[in-house]
Structure 1
Amino acid sequence: MSNTRKKQWRWPISAETVRAVLSSHSVLGLAFAAIIYLVCLTGTIAVFAPDLQRLELPGTPVATRLAPDAAARALAAAAKQVPSDVSLNLTLPSAAREGATLVAYKGKFDRNWAVAEDGSLSSLDAAWTDFLLYLHICLHLPRTWGGFLVGLTGVALLSSLVSGILAHPRVIRDAFHLRLGGSRRLQEADLHNRLGIWALPFHFTLALTGALLGLSTLIVAVLSLLLYRGDTRQVYALFIDPPPPVDARAAALPDVAGLIARAQARMPSAAIESLAVARPGRADMRITVHGRGARQLVSQDEVQFDGKGQLLHEEHPRDLALGTTLLGGIGQLHFGWFGGFPIRLAYGLLGLALCAVTSSGVTIWLARRRDRGRPAPAWERIWMAVCWGQPVILALTAILAFFVPTAPLPSFWVTGTILAVAGAAAWNRASMAQHARAWRLGLLLCCGIVAMLYGGRLLV
């Protein structure tokens, strides 16, 4: 028998470095904890936005198919209701998203419709779902600044995930080690580490795509400085076709049904997924047909026509660079809208795990302080008001939206958040267990009311 012994594998980072990384992990997590938790919570719910829209508006049609002539009627009807310089985006029913929807947008102008199988339109402007989406995307701040802040949150989450792995040499080996029923701090630590490592690929993907989406404006600005002396138009031209010469003369829509048939013939291996009409009703309009193959995450086939129905250009998967393909899938990958309800459900469960990781991280730090004889009861109550209070406040906004769809939901949310945090900081006459019990009962009650209100409307 050989006397040589196999070298025992060791973590390739010194103990001093591990302690430094752990310290930075704690500081970074604490600095961004509340906003990370809010973005993760709203994102988890926003995954179900298509379902929530129809829950708010139960009478809207859900088309199982949309024939080309019905698609043409829907676009023509929408073009009569919007300014001629907007963009129309018609999404057809598919395995990824149920029903057909039509969106008109430009700047702050935004209209949404559900499209029936005969091409008729029904309003799909769902007050609470829209409130939730904008809270997740930009925190109801101005779009540029809010998106930038959410993007920074994605960077902070990404950094926390990396530093968390580096700071825990045993995190892989102890992946199934749970110490339940003992010290609260050890129990929370195990939950934090296990959920963090089990769902790490999802957490990493979500943080990276969120950071890219939120910081896209900054990324474009940096690229323009590095490559084009600050000309952002040249950067956008790498991904977006330059607009045609302006021609605002009135013009009728061409034969859209015929254009769909011509586009389908040019992408025989793809299914038509959406149509985009830029500047409908003007001579400089553009009609773009998008198709997606059976094994593709997003649309990679594109055929574009001008206002007279003449073919301008086409792109297919073989024509796209890998970077362009990856960039096109960031949004779908982030929100989980590339598949059907099972994909959304998986995203929802994994999103809840990420919320638990964020919540338990701060709880561990507070419990460690208490164990060391330096408790911070006010901060414990405040963090409890954030973790349990935000779901309660979101449920209350849903109740308010049910009775008053035009209510200022962002103002209500801000007021509720301030009152919850201030009340938790000031109210010290109850134990932590009583605070936790009150929040949980409040959440159970509010969710029950939401379920009865919206579920009852489905039964009417």
Structure 2
Amino acid sequence: MSRPRGNGVGLAPGVVRAILKGHSSLGLAFAAALYLICLTGALAVFVAEFTRWENASAPRVATLAPDALPQAYSEALARAGGQVDRILMVLPDDDNPLLRVRTEAHTAGQREWLADARGHLVAPLREGWSELLVRLHVNLHLPHAWGGFLVGLAGVALLSSLISGILAHPRIFRDAFHLRLGGSRRLQEADMHNRIGVWGLPFHLIVSLTGALLGLSTVVIATLGMVAFQGNTAKVYALFRTPRLAVDARPMPALDLRPMLADAARRVPAGRIDYLRIEHPSRRDGSVELQVEDGSHHIAGTDAYGYDRDARLYHAKRAAENNIGGQILGTLGPLHFGWFAGPLVKVAYGLLGLGLAYLASGGVLLWIARRRDRGRPVPGWERIWIAFAWGQPLALSAAALGAVAAPAEGGAPLLTWAVATLAMLAGAPLLSSRQLARIGRGGTGGLLVLVALAHGGWGAADWMVPTVNFVLIVVGMALLVSLARLPSVRRAGV
């Protein structure tokens, strides 16, 4: 009896084809996740600017009044009815001049407000669009542990792809400015793919490495917990965070914030408080954590102080005393997002991030083109990929429109993003790749212009609001103009 041919394990050809199809599906799904992470990461660089844009009428805070923080604390406690587990405040800075106050309670859930310079809570925070960008980038809007793990794996895959791409092209640096134009479309795309990879290589390596470390941190912490603390990950987190006091749920009057603020000001005269966390303010185990920029302007230059309810300092961790490992840990976030050296660095990060998204998409398109050139085309996968790759800019633009149309509905951006994504994917079996690309490009351009016009805000006191609207219109119009210059579907023979 003859053995089946075509594989070394005796599987039937139909089974082999099914396995290969599943392998392609898994590879494309991971590539889609990587592309979405890169695209949303490029936009998440400007999350502070988008938050200001979403809260166009909120007060901008340049300087806080002396009693602003105690006032905001007391008002937040009153609005929560005294039943609150913690109160968190994010203080204004040059990039984001908003005073944010959030209460968290098991019974009432989470609420967040914006306060003015005197500490009065004046408006609920609107961040549906900004939050969508961050959650898609950090954990793909999945449960935090699983989503963060997948994002970490994507960082590892991106880092591996960059290294392997360099090793596989010995002439890649020598040909850094060599482009083969006017010939094969595949060769042009391959050259552009390689050139963008080389031009942005330092950025790509930094972003992929820090992204992998941040995403896989939950796995690292879980491993350390099993090895060193018999599975107790809380003890691992305690090595990096301000520890919590022993549980004592006896009711007490609300703690007084003023002594802690005064003590921190004495300890760091040149410092600036940028974050404040009040745990169980109406219990005996109440505590306050202050994070204070030490004035050194280092990327990891933040001190942490913990006080009990009687204003006794029980924890102090100064940035100047950190070892090398602590300094590296403190720089991961700012280095990954470009939040360390002002607006020009942010713009550079945004543009380079878009280039990274192009690399992620272009790698798949090159694979599709090589299959076509070798006589093994995959038109179905090509249409699905085009629908997803162009569908994401369109879906994110639709999400921004959802945030503008229903600012009080925090779920509107996620819903519109999901509907637009599914609509584009549903069109993949019905339309050609060129038609899908035109719909995605034109739809994105039109939606961006519509978002800016619907948002208004041209007369807002914060200059960032009309600036964001102006950029949305410019990008939207550029996409529409580029669409008009493309060959039509009929002329292209599709």
TM-score scaled by structure 1?
0.85
Aligned to 2:69: 71
Return the offset for 1:390: 0.7
Aligned to 1:404: 406
Return the offset for 1:458: 4.0
Seen in structure 2, the aligned counterparts of structure 1 residues 201 and 97 have a Cα distance that, compared at 3 Å, is farther
Seen in structure 2, the aligned counterparts of structure 1 residues 335 and 253 have a Cα distance that, compared at 3 Å, is farther
Question: Which amino acid is 1:92 matched to?
Answer: L
What secondary structure is seen at the aligned counterpart in 2 of 1:88? Answer: strand
Q: Is residue 2:274 matched to residue 1:276?
A: no
CA contact (8 A) 1:177 1:190 kept: yes
Q: Is residue 2:420 matched to residue 1:416?
A: yes
User: Which of 60, 63, 66 in structure 2 is aligned with 1:62?
Assistant: 60
Q: Is residue 2:422 matched to residue 1:453?
A: no
Aligned to 1:38: 36
Q: Is residue 2:309 matched to residue 1:316?
A: no
Count, aligned residues:
431
Aligned to 1:263: 264
Q: Is residue 2:250 matched to residue 1:249?
A: yes
Aligned to 1:100: 99
Distance 1:117 1:96 in 2: 16
Distance 2:226 2:64 in 1: 45
CA contact (8 A) 2:301 2:319 kept: no
Distance 1:397 1:379 in 2: 26
What secondary structure is seen at the aligned counterpart in 2 of 1:425? Answer: coil
Question: Which amino acid is 1:51 matched to?
Answer: E
Aligned to 2:444: 443
CA contact (8 A) 2:397 2:448 kept: yes
Q: Is residue 2:89 matched to residue 1:90?
A: yes
Return the offset for 1:444: 1.1
What secondary structure is seen at the aligned counterpart in 2 of 1:125? Answer: coil
What secondary structure is seen at the aligned counterpart in 2 of 1:424? Answer: coil
Percent identity of paired positions between Structure 1 and Structure 2: 45
CA contact (8 A) 1:300 1:325 kept: no
Distance 1:272 1:38 in 2: 34
Distance 1:135 1:64 in 2: 31
CA contact (8 A) 1:272 1:289 kept: yes
Seen in structure 2, the aligned counterparts of structure 1 residues 109 and 218 have a Cα distance that, compared at 3 Å, is farther
- 5 Å matches for 1:156-305? 156-292=157-293, 293-305=295-307
TM-score scaled by structure 2?
0.80
Return the offset for 1:321: 2.1
What secondary structure is seen at the aligned counterpart in 1 of 2:299? Answer: coil
**Please, which runs of 5 or more residues in structure 2 have no aligned partner?**
1-23, 461-494
What secondary structure is seen at the aligned counterpart in 1 of 2:50? Answer: helix
Seen in structure 2, the aligned counterparts of structure 1 residues 241 and 440 have a Cα distance that, compared at 3 Å, is closer
CA contact (8 A) 2:255 2:281 kept: no
CA contact (8 A) 2:255 2:286 kept: no
CA contact (8 A) 2:277 2:289 kept: yes
Aligned to 1:342: 344
Aligned to 1:23: none
Deviations 1:195-223 (A, max 9, x none): 11221222222222222222222111111
CA contact (8 A) 2:196 2:355 kept: yes
CA contact (8 A) 2:398 2:413 kept: no
CA contact (8 A) 2:289 2:307 kept: yes
- Which one is further off, 163-172 or 274-283? 274-283
Seen in structure 2, the aligned counterparts of structure 1 residues 224 and 205 have a Cα distance that, compared at 3 Å, is same
Return the offset for 1:35: 0.6
CA contact (8 A) 2:83 2:105 kept: no
Q: Is residue 2:381 matched to residue 1:384?
A: no
Distance 1:29 1:192 in 2: 19
What secondary structure is seen at the aligned counterpart in 2 of 1:180? Answer: coil
Deviations 1:74-130 (A, max 9, x none): 122223334755333323233454333233457994433322111112211322222
Seen in structure 2, the aligned counterparts of structure 1 residues 347 and 325 have a Cα distance that, compared at 3 Å, is same
Return the offset for 1:267: 1.8
